[in-house]
Amino acid sequence: MFAAIRKGFQILAFGSLLAGSSFGAILFQDNFDAESPALNGSLSNWFIYRPGVDVIADNTYFLRCSGNAGTCVDLDGTYMQGVYMWSNATFQFLPGFTYNLTMRLSGNQRDLANTDSLVVRLGSLSQTFDLLGSSPWQTYTMSLAGDGSTGRIWFDMRGPDNAGSVYGDNVGILLDALVLEEIAGQTDVPDIQNADIPEPGSALLLAAGLGVLALRGRRG
203: CB partners within 8 A, 6+ apart: none
DSSP state letter for 137: P
d(CA 100, CA 118): 18
Element (H, E) at 16: helix 2-18
Length of the chain: 220
Choose one: 4-12, 14-22, 46-54, 208-216; the region binding Ca ion (CB under 5 A): 46-54
Smallest gap from residue 71 Cβ to Ca ion (A)? 5
> Is residue 74 within the footprint of Ca ion (CB under 5 A)?
yes
Displacement of CA 146 from its chain's centroid (Å): 14
33 is a contact residue toward Ca ion (CB under 5 A) = yes
Determine the Cα–Cα distance for residues 220 and 216; give it in Å rounded to an integer.
Answer: 6
- Judged by CB under 5 A, the residue of 12, 30, 31, 35 near Ca ion is 31
Residue 156 within binding range of Ca ion, rule CB under 5 A: no
- Site stretch for Ca ion (CB under 5 A), options 16-24, 65-73, 133-141, 182-190: 65-73
- Give the residue with the Cβ less far from Ca ion, 153 or 183: 153
Per CB under 5 A, residues contacting Ca ion are 31-33, 54, 70, 72, 74, 76, 159, 161, 168-170, 172, 176
